[in-house]
C-alpha cells in the first residue's frame, strides 16, 4: 500500500451538475411575445336577446364600433349595450332618450372625458351625440343627406357620406379641441372645431376607415380600406402625409416578418396605437388577421390563421385561431387589445403571453429568458458566475458549476485546500442516465504537463445506465471528468518509492443538488486508456486514490498494457493514474542521475 508523499492535485470532493453541455445553443434570451385570444362578448348568434346578461351569454350582430373607457374600464361597442338605439334601424329625431331612439348602422364610437358619447351613424350620414347631461340623442354633425356641400359650414349643416370612424382630440385644450371624422364614402378626412363647430376638410383619401390619434407626435394614423389597403400618417402641424405600410392597389397579404413599408394587406379597416409600447395594430378583415408593427418597423400577424371562421380561443397562440372579418381594434394602457370579430358576431381580446421559463418585459413586447427564476440580464443570474444562455441553461465561468453556477469547483490538494482550477482541464456535463451506457469521453492532458502530451480516453460499460438508475431516481445527473498534473512521487510503507508517469484523471457522478453518486462493484469495468509514457522502466501499474483514507491503492483496479497504451479497468470511480514502480529507484542511484522527462 502506498501513501501520499508529496502534494498532488486531485478532485476529491465531487460536485453536481453544470448547467450547459452544448457548445452552441441558439439565441433564446429574448423572443417576441405571443398572444392568447379570448372571446369576451358574443355567442356567435345574431339575434338581440336582452341586456343585463354576461358578455358570453349576450348575442350581438356584426359588431363594428368599439371604444375602451380607461377611467371606468368599460368597453363600448355598437350593437349590444343599449345606451343608444332601440334595435330598429332609422332616425327618430332629436332630443329623444337614447335608449328609445333609432340608429341606422352605428359604426365608430368615442366617449369624451365628460362622458358624452359620439356615434358615427354610417347609413344615417350623421355623427350622433348622446349627452351625458340628459342621456338624450342629438345630431352633432351631418344633415342625414349624403354628399359633400363644401367646407366652412356648421357641423350640423355639413353633409357626410357614410362616415365610419371618429376621434375627439385635444380634449385638454378647449380652444383647440377637434372632432376628426372619417367621411369614408366621401373619401375625405373632415374636422370639426369644437369651439366654433365649423367643418373643414383635412385631406382627401380613398375610403378612409379607421382613425387613431398619436398625441405624442400630433399625428393621425389612418387606415384606408380596399382597394387601397394601406395605413398613412397625417401630421396635423405640417399637413404632410406619409405611408406607414401597405402598397396602394395591392390587396394581398404579404410581408410578415419583414419591414412594414414593404408589406401588403387584403383590406385595411381599424388601426390602433399601443398606449404602452407604441406598436401599431391593424385589423385586416379580408385577410382575417390582426397585424402588428413593432417600434423597430417589423410587421407580424399576431392573431388569425388567415382562414375565415371560428375554431375557438387559443390560450397560447392567437394565430392558430380563425377570425372572420375583424374590423375595429382598440388598446388599453395596460397593453390589452380588443377587436371586433365582426362576422363571427363576437368581441375578442388579445393578451400578450410568454412561454414557461420566460418573463415579460414592462412594455409587453418581448419575453426574457430566466435561469432558475432570475432574468438572463440580471447581474445575479447564474450565481453571478456565468451567463444565462437559454431558459434554465447557464454557461458557468471557469471554476464554477451547478445548475445556477453557484458552487465553486474544488480541486483539493493533499493538505485539504482548494487550489486554482483555471489551468486544469475540467469537463462537467449534464446528461440523462439513459445516455451513460457505452459513452466515451476524451479529455486533453493537463496544461504544461510533459508527462503526457496525449488525451486520456474513458469508456463506460454497456450496462452502466442500468447501474446508475438503480442508485438514484433522478433521470438527469452530472458527469465530471478532470485532468491534473502528475509527475509526483509516492512512497510505500517500506520506503520503496515510485513516480506517477501519467496525468491524474478524476471521474465522478453527482445529483443536481451536489450529492455524490457512489459507483462501486460494477459487473463490467470502466476502461481508462492512457498513452504509454516515452520513458519508463518496465513496471507500469494503474492505481487509484482512496478518498476515505487519503491513499493511493492497487486493489480494485486492473492494468492492461499494450504496445502504445496502458488501460486501467476499474469497478468504481475516483482518481486514477499510472505509476512506474522502478522509475524513482533508477533516478536516485548514486552517481547516475537521470532526467525523469
The alpha carbon of 325 is separated from its chain's Cα centroid by a whole number of angstroms, namely 29
Q: What's the CA gap between 88 and 103, in Å, rounded?
A: 7
Strand pairing class (165-169; 136-141): unpaired
> 574: closest CA among 592, 541, 552, 596?
552
Angle CA 297–65–192, to nearest 5: 85
**321 closest CA partner among 344, 353, 298:** 344
Condensed to tens digits (0 to 9), the pLDDT of residues 289-307 reads 999 999 999 999 999 999 9
Q: Could you report the per-residue pLDDT of 368-380, keeping only the tens digit for each?
A: 999 999 999 999 9
Grid cell in block for residue 294: 413593432
Top-confidence residue, 22 or 383:
383
CB 289 within 8 A of CB 306: yes
Predicted pLDDT of residue 18: 30
506 falls in which pLDDT band (50, 70, 90)? confident
Residue 381's pLDDT band (cuts 50, 70, 90):
very high
> What's the CATH code, domain 411-446+454-580?
2.60.220.50
Does 237 have pLDDT greater than 60? Answer: yes
Q: What is the CATH number of domain 28-367?
A: 2.120.10.30
Looking at residue 141, what DSSP letter applies? E
Choice between 89 and 405, residue whose per-residue pLDDT is larger: 405
Tens-digit pLDDT profile for residues 252-280: 999 999 999 999 999 999 999 999 999 99
- Assign 491 a pLDDT band (cuts: 50, 70, 90): low
Going by C-beta distance under 8 Å and a sequence separation of 6 or more, which residues neighbour residue 81?
Answer: 51
* Average pLDDT taken over every residue of the chain: 83
Confidence of residue 244 (pLDDT cuts 50, 70, 90): very high
Q: What is the pLDDT of residue 240?
A: 95
Higher pLDDT pick, 544 / 244:
244
Contact 66, 77 (CB under 8 A): yes
Give DSSP secondary structure letters for 246-315.
--TT--S-B-TTSBGGG-B-S----EEE-TTT--EEEEETTTTEEEEE-TTSBEEEEE--SSBS-----S
Locate CATH 2.120.10.30 in the chain. Answer: 28-367
pLDDT digits (tens, 9 = 90+) for 73-113: 999 998 743 444 455 555 666 788 888 887 888 899 999 99
Q: Give the per-residue pLDDT at 588.
A: 33
3-state class percentages of the chain: helix first, strand second, coil last, to nearest 5: 5, 40, 50
- The whole-angstrom separation of Cα 391 and Cα 571 is 37
Q: Are strands 219-224 and 230-235 parallel, antiparallel or unpaired?
A: antiparallel
Q: What is the DSSP letter of 384?
A: G
Answer whether residue 400 shows pLDDT above 50.
yes
In this prediction, residue 474 has a pLDDT band, given cuts at 50, 70 and 90, of: confident
Q: pLDDT for 51-72, tens place per residue? A: 788 889 889 989 988 999 999 9
Give the model's confidence band at 24: pLDDT under 50 very low, under 70 low, under 90 confident, else very high. Answer: very low
**Burial environment of residue 329 by CB neighbours within 10 A (0 to 12, 13 to 18, 19 or more):** buried
Phi and psi at residue 99, to the nearest 5°: -70, -15
Percent of the chain surpassing pLDDT 70: 82
User: 402 falls in which pLDDT band (50, 70, 90)?
Assistant: confident
Comma-separated ranges of CATH 2.60.220.50 domains in the chain: 411-446+454-580
pLDDT digits (tens, 9 = 90+) for 563-586: 889 999 999 998 898 888 765 443
Higher confidence at residue 208 or residue 481?
Answer: 208
- What single string gives the DSSP state of each residue in 565-591? EEEEEESS-SEEEEEETTHHHHHTSTT
pLDDT band for position 540 (cuts 50, 70, 90): confident
Whether the per-residue pLDDT at 446 is higher than 70: the answer is: no
Pair 369, 388: CB distance under 8 Å? yes
* Residue predicted with more confidence, 123 or 330: 330
User: Which ranges of 402-560 does DSSP label H, i.e. alpha helix?
Assistant: 464-471
Buried b (16+ CB within 10 A) or exposed e, 375-408: bbeeeebbbebbbbbbbbbbbbeebbbbbbbbbb
Query: With pLDDT > 90 as the criterion, what percentage of the chain qualifies?
Result: 56
Q: Is the pLDDT of residue 47 over 90?
A: no
Angle, vertex CA 110, rays to CA 109 and CA 111, nearest 5: 130
CB atoms within 10 A of CB 445: 22
More confident position, 158 or 595: 158
Amino acid at each position: 500500500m502506498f501513501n501520499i508523499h508529496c502534494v498532488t492535485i486531485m478532485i476529491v470532493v465531487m460536485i453536481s451538475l453544470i448547467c450547459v453541455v452544448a457548445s452552441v445553443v441558439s439565441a433564446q434570451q429574448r423572443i417576441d411575445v405571443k398572444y392568447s385570444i379570448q372571446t369576451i362578448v358574443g355567442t356567435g348568434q345574431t339575434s338581440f336577446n336582452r341586456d343585463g346578461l354576461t358578455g358570453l351569454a349576450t348575442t350581438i350582430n356584426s359588431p363594428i364600433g368599439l371604444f375602451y373607457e380607461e377611467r371606468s374600464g368599460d368597453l363600448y361597442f355598437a350593437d349590444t349595450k343599449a345606451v343608444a338605439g332601440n334595435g330598429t334601424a332609422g332616425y327618430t329625431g332629436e332630443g329623444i332618450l337614447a335608449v328609445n331612439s333609432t340608429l341606422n348602422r352605428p359604426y365608430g364610437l368615442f366617449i369624451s372625458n365628460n362622458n358624452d358619447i359620439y356615434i358615427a351613424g354610417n347609413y344615417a350620414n350623421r355623427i350622433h351625440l348622446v349627452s351625458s347631461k340628459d342621456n338624450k340623442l342629438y345630431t352633432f354633425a351631418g344633415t342625414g343627406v349624403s354628399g359633400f356641400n363644401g367646407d366652412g359650414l356648421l357641423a350640423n349643416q355639413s353633409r357626410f357620406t357614410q362616415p365610419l370612424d371618429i376621434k375627439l382630440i385635444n380634449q385638454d385644450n378647449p380652444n383647440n379641441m377637434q372632432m376628426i371624422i372619417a367621411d369614408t364614402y366621401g373619401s375625405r378626412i373632415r374636422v370639426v372645431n369644437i369651439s366654433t363647430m365649423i367643418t373643414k376638410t383635412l385631406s382627401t383619401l380613398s375610403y378612409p376607415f379607421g382613425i387613431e390619434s398619436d398625441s405624442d407626435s400630433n399625428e393621425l394614423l389612418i387606415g384606408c380600406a380596399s382597394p387601397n389597403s394601406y395605413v398613412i400618417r397625417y401630421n396635423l402641424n405640417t399637413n404632410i402625409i406619409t405611408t406607414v405600410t401597405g402598397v396602394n392597389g395591392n390587396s394581398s397579404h404579404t410581408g410578415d416578418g419583414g419591414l412594414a413599408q414593404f408589406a401588403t394587406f387584403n383590406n385595411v379597416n381599424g388601426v390602433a396605437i399601443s398606449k404602452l409600447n407604441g406598436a401599431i395594430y391593424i385589423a385586416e378583415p379580408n385577410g382575417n388577421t390582426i397585424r402588428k408593427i413593432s417600434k423597430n418597423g417589423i410587421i407580424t400577424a399576431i392573431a388569425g390563421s388567415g382562414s375565415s371562421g371560428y375554431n375557438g380561443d387559443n390560450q397560447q397562440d392567437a394565430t392558430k385561431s380563425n377570425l372572420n372579418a375583424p374590423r375595429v381594434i382598440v388598446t388599453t394602457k395596460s397593453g390589452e387589445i380588443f377587436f371586433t370579430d365582426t362576422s363571427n358576431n363576437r368581441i375578442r381580446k388579445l393578451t400578450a403571453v410568454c412561454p414557461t421559463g420566460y418573463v415579460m418585459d414592462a412594455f409587453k413586447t418581448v419575453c426574457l429568458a430566466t435561469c432558475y427564476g432570475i432574468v438572463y440580464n440580471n447581474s445575479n443570474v447564474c450565481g453571478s458566475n456565468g451567463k444565462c444562455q437559454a431558459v434554465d441553461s447557464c454557461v458557468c465561468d471557469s471554476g464554477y458549476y451547478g445548475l445556477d453556477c453557484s458552487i465553486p469547483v474544488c480541486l483539493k490538494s493533499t493538505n485539504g485546500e482548494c487550489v486554482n482550477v483555471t489551468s486544469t482541464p475540467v469537463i462537467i456535463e449534464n446528461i440523462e442516465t439513459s445516455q451513460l451506457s457505452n459513452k466515451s469521453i476524451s479529455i486533453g492532458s493537463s496544461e504544461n504537463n510533459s508527462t503526457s502530451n496525449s488525451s486520456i480516453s474513458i469508456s463506460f460499460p454497456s450496462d452502466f445506465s442500468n447501474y446508475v438508475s438503480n442508485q438514484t431516481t433522478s433521470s438527469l445527473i452530472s458527469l465530471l471528468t478532470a485532468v491534473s498534473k502528475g509527475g509526483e512521487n509516492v512512497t510505500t510503507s517500506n520506503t520503496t518509492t515510485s513516480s506517477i508517469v501519467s496525468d491524474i484523471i478524476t471521474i465522478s457522478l453527482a445529483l443536481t443538488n451536489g450529492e455524490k453518486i457512489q459507483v462501486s462493484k460494477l459487473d463490467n469495468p470502466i476502461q481508462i486508456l492512457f498513452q504509454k509514457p516515452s520513458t519508463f522502466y518496465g513496471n507500469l501499474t494503474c492505481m487509484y486514490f482512496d478518498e476515505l483514507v487519503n491513499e493511493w491503492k492497487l486493489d480494485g483496479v486492473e492494468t492492461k498494457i499494450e504496445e502504445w497504451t496502458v488501460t486501467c479497468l476499474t469497478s468504481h470511480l475516483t482518481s486514477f493514474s499510472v505509476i512506474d514502480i522502478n522509475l524513482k529507484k533508477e533516478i536516485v542511484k548514486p552517481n547516475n542521475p537521470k532526467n525523469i522527462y
